[in-house]
Amino acid sequence: MNSAPSSSSWLLRLCNAVILAGLVAGAVWGVVELLRPPVGKVSSEVGLPKAKLDDVLQAAQKVNADFEQTWAQKQMQPALKADDLTLVRRLSLALTGSIPSLQEIRALESVKDVDVAQWWLTQLFADRRASDYLAERLVRVYVGIENGPFLIYRRRRLVEWLSEALQKNRPYDQIARALIDSKGVWTTSPEVNFITVTNQMNNKGPDETKLAARVSRSFLGVQMDCVQCHDGKLGSTWKQTDFHKLAAYFGQTDFELTGLRDDPKQAYKFRYLGQTEEVVVSAMVPWKPELLPQKGGPRDRLARWVTAKENKAFARTLVNRMWALLFNRPLITPVDDIPLEGPFPAGMEALADDLIAHDFDLQRLIRVIVATRVFQQSSQSADAAHPVTDEMEKAWAAFPVTRLRPEQMAGSVIQASSLSTIDAETHVLLRIKRDLDVDNFVKRYGDSGEDTFDDAGGTIPQRLLLMNGNMITENTKNNPLVNASTRIGMLAPDNATAVEAAYLAVFTRRPTATEADHFANLLATAKNNNSRSNAMSDLYWTLMNATEFSWNH
């Protein structure tokens, strides 16, 4: 007896059937519109009043001054400014997990006299892809990637709640306080899942030590859990008591049928190293106790202390995290181990001060970082005789070249194979298929787990998966109704246009003269439409397997 097909494979077949039917009518029109020069008018507004935009640029200049001083001390000549298409590729990868579509590139080409980076950010901030992707990256920091105890934990609801908050640009200190001092049911109050994921068996309630570690790492950039079992070694100033006094703020937290609540009758107990019995541990913050509010419940007081403007560790941690998301490399490594008293790298204090002064406006922080010379630099030297060195990258005198994360790689392959943007306006079944394809690829390629920024290097199995796996093969094969490669080959008015469209869709750049001539000549050898479509498929496959495609630069 044949086994029943899996639900995921059945859903994929259904998605494919519906998508194919919907694309038949618009296939020709869509390609022709995207291959011709841009027509119509796209708003050139950057989404900020001139005064606010000028303020963002002034804040970026303060950061630039820090780095320029460092470069002068090291006698380094920083790289030149990157071109516009490189900038928008970086931004899309960092904020949506995918390269720009050809449709988005054409929209960019239709606007004139704009600050390209700030204009692109405006489009991304209005795009649900960006808030969804950032929410997923941050939730990895808060709760990891495991599904947790299903009865009282809904990870997906937490991601959706955070995405909604980011879409509305809710101040980040409010988001952090909502997570730490959450109450209610994990389904209707999704922020509660920050607590419920740590549920212990045998009705012991949440794990206070896990929560203390999450709070200190996620929001304060301090790895206090290293002293959970014993006092710090190798000169560490942290003591075992510091960690458990922080954990004690969650000692009254408990679960009931009505949801998460605080029970004043409960207390956190722990048996310290060298002791024979547990003792009741009183709650106490590890530094700046004068910032701790006198009134309120334990978690409320802790949340307000963590996010206090005078507790600058909170602002520095967010700066380091957002910098890491935009560059795929933090200012301070590890990303969650920032010294309380410094020394701090160039740019960090200026960005933290600006973040505090503007009430933890996350979108503004991103705008300021993106406006800096550091972000907008090329990853290559203009002088071939003096290429970019590791020391230059470490000093941020050139944009650091890093491998794409697995979900960025999969998302980029799927987007490159579609000429139009795959976003919230795309048919729901196509979006479901995309999510399934990305999840399957990440599982096979290897998920990095919690949001780290370690470059472990590519493996041979990963390379073989790209070259021989279904992800690239299915998205480049000869299929006129689905794949961009075939549609470009069939409808481009000439070979030069076909090659240019392929390069823009895959590399987010135009081909060099040598590249354009080489591939145009190959297309010219095609004897009929079918062989031409196959040649375009080969071109797409070659570009997607090129090293350039799988790295950010």
The 10s digit of each residue's pLDDT in 194-215 is: 999 998 766 678 999 999 999 9
Lowest mean pLDDT among 427-436, 439-448, 514-523: 439-448
- Residue 444 belongs to a domain: yes
Residue 545 domain-assigned? yes
- Predicted local distance difference test score (pLDDT) of residue 35: 66
- Among the three residues 283, 306, 329, which one is the final residue of a domain in this structure? 306
211 in a structural domain? yes
pLDDT bucket at 489, cuts 50 / 70 / 90: confident
> What percentage of the chain carries pLDDT values higher than 90?
65
Decide if 381 is inside a domain: no
Residue 129 confidence (pLDDT) above 50? yes
pLDDT recorded at residue 29: 45
| Paired tokens of 528 | 């009929």
pLDDT digits (tens, 9 = 90+) for 325-352: 999 999 999 999 999 998 999 999 999 9
Structural domain contains residue 424: yes
Same domain, 151 and 21: no
Number of H helices, E strands in the chain: 26, 8
Greatest Cα-to-Cα distance within the chain, rounded to the nearest angstrom: 85
Q: Are 67 and 374 in contact (CB under 8 A)?
A: yes
Report which secondary-structure segment, H or E, holds 3: none
Q: What is the pLDDT of residues 510-547, one digit of tens each?
A: 999 999 999 999 999 988 888 888 899 999 999 999 99
**Same domain, residue pair 428 and 291:** no
Distance between CA atoms of residues 267 and 276, nearest Å: 19
Residue 431 has pLDDT above 50, yes or no: yes
**pLDDT at position 454, please?**
67
As a whole number of angstroms, the distance between CA 106 and CA 120 comes to 12
- Distance (Å, rounded) from C-alpha 366 to C-alpha 505? 25
Number of other CB atoms surrounding residue 457 within 10 Å? 7
Question: Is 239's pLDDT higher than 60?
Answer: yes
16 and 158 in a common domain:
no
Share of the chain above pLDDT 70, in %: 87
The pLDDT of residue 132: 97
Q: Give the whole-angstrom CA distance, residue 31 versus residue 28.
A: 6
Mean pLDDT of 126-146: 95
Task: Give CA angle at 461 (418, 403), nearest 5°.
Answer: 60
Does some domain include residue 393?
A: no
Q: What is the pTM of this model?
A: 0.91
Structure tokens at 378: 């090329």
List pLDDT tens digits, range 20-50: 444 444 444 455 556 665 555 567 778 788 8
**163 plus 28 within the same structural domain:** no
The H or E element that residue 279 is part of is: strand 279-280
What CA–CA distance (Å, rounded) separates 197 from 39? 51
* Chain segment 145-183, per-residue pLDDT in tens: 888 777 889 999 999 999 999 999 999 999 999 999 999
pLDDT per residue as tens digits for the range 67-120: 999 999 999 999 999 999 999 999 999 999 999 999 999 999 989 889 999 999
- Has residue 257 been placed in a domain? yes
Close Cβ partners of 62 (under 8 Å, ≥ 6 residues apart): 350, 354
User: Do residues 157 and 266 share a domain?
Assistant: yes
pLDDT of 258 reads 82
Whether residues 28 and 135 fall in one domain? no
| 247 neighbors 268 (Cβ within 8 angstroms) | yes
What type of residue is 168? K
Residue 46, helix vs strand vs coil:
coil
* Residues 172, 275 within the same domain: yes
Q: Across all residues in the chain, what is the average pLDDT? A: 88
Measured in whole angstroms, the distance separating CA 39 from the mean position of its chain's CA atoms is 32
- Same-domain status, 264 and 152: yes
Residue 223 CA to residue 230 CA, distance in Å, equals: 14
Of residues 377 and 430, more confidently modeled: 377
- What the block records as the tokens of 517 is 């001539």
Tokens (6 digits) for 419: 């000429």
Q: How far is CA 135 from the centre of its chain?
A: 8
Count of structural domains, the chain:
2
**Per-residue H/E/C for 175-239:** HHHHHHCCCECCCCCHHHHHHHCCEECCCCEECHHHHHHHHHHHHHCCCHHHHCCCCCCCCCCCC
The span from the CA of 59 to the CA of 52, in Å, is 11
When mean pLDDT is compared over 305-319, 429-443, 462-476, the highest value belongs to: 305-319
Mean predicted confidence (pLDDT) in 287-313: 97
* Boundary residue ending a domain (285, 306, 327): 306
Looking at the fold, whether 136 and 267 belong to one and the same domain comes out as yes
Give the per-residue pLDDT at 26.
Answer: 44
Give the count of alpha carbons within 13 A of 468, CB side only.
Answer: 6
- Residue 186 sits in which domain range? 130-306
| Three-state SS at 278 | coil
Domain for residue 3, yes or no? no
| Same domain for 177 and 285 | yes
Q: Which of 348, 408, 334 is nearest to 94 (CA)?
A: 408
Name the domain boundary from 306, 323, 341: 306
**Closest among 511, 423, 4 to 521, alpha carbons compared:** 511
Pair 262, 135 in one domain: yes
Q: Give residue 389's pLDDT.
A: 93
d(CA 417, CA 161): 31
* Domain identity same for 442 and 548: yes
**Which tokens is 314 given?**
């909170």
